[in-house]
Amino acid sequence: MNKWLANLKEKTRWISQLLAALKPWFKAQLRAIKKLERDDLDLANSGQWPDLVKIFSLILVVSSVVFAGHWLLISSYKEELAFAQQEQEELLESYRLRSFQAANLAAYQQQMRIMEETFSGLLAFLPSGNEVPRLLDDIQQLADEQRIEILTLNLKDPKDNNFYSQLPFEIEVRGDFHRLANFMVGISNLDRIITLHNFTLQPVNKGSSQLRLNVDAQTYRYDQTTNSASQGGRN
């Protein structure tokens, strides 16, 4: 403890001596600074500046250089860091998505099987090219069963779409209201998908119970060849 106190007293005495030695120098520097004119601060006269001004100017220049270098270095690092963080986020998002897909792969496969089965079931309701004449025969048979007269049953040109074709045809029949209604119900109950559009119902003659029904019908055909070609093109 006594040794520590002795060292402390020695350091205090040394600092006091240093301050006492520097005090005249500081006073001289302050007097020199007070005598400076604005023109004396020109860099061309920097050799005549007081030492205190030279030291302060040197510290300012060194600090400016260090700060500028630090800012330039840090700014480039910040850009690289921001790019790396963005890339990391994208990789994490991709990892989360693939991880989720991998964890639910079995469920996806089961869902795909269900969709394929559903799609196959729907295709069964679409007539193939060979079944269209039979479909027209079924419509003719329905008309015979309801004892109504078919005036027109014309198949129009097909309209091609992405993977299926629309097969429009025109139906014009004549009969009483109830038989015509049963005929339309019978068409909707056929084992192939048929949609009916643009109904027109009007009496054959004025005051007659016989009515003439015009309707545009459409059925659909799955074009497997076209769909296979488009899938091949995508692959």
User: Comparing 24 with 171, which gets the higher pLDDT?
Assistant: 171
According to the model, what pLDDT value does residue 234 have? Answer: 45
Structure-model confidence comparison of residues 89 and 22, the more confident one: 89
User: Which of 37-51, 58-72, 83-97 is the most confident on average?
Assistant: 83-97
Residue 33 predicted with pLDDT over 70: no
In this structure, how many other beta carbons lie within 10 angstroms of the beta carbon of residue 143?
22
Instruction: Supply the DSSP string of 105-124, one letter for each residue.
Output: HHHHHHHHHHHHHHHHHHHT
3-state secondary structure of 201: strand
Does residue 130 carry a pLDDT above 70? Answer: no
Instruction: Tokens for 181, please give them.
Output: 């209604």
Closest C-alpha among 176, 182, 168, 162 to residue 219: 168
Q: Above 60 in pLDDT, residue 177?
A: yes
Residue 173 has pLDDT above 90, yes or no: yes
Q: Is the pLDDT of residue 82 over 70?
A: yes
Say how many Å lie between the first and final Cα of the chain, rounded: 89
Average pLDDT estimate for 26-42: 65
| Assigned token pair, 154 | 């014309």
Q: CA 46 to CA 53: how far, in whole Å? A: 9
Q: In the chain, what's the furthest Cα-to-Cα distance? A: 137
Handedness of CA 17, 18, 21, 22 (dihedral sign): negative
**From 46-60, 72-86, 95-109, the region with the lowest mean pLDDT:** 46-60
Comparing 159-173, 187-201, 214-228, the range with the smallest average pLDDT is 214-228
Pairing status of strand 211-222 against strand 149-155: unpaired
Amino acid at 71: W
Q: Which residues contact 190 (CB under 8 A, 6 or more apart)?
A: 135, 138, 139
Does residue 34 carry a pLDDT above 70?
no
Tokens for 162, please give them: 């992405």
Q: Read off the pLDDT of each residue in 206-218 and give the average, rounded to a whole number.
A: 88
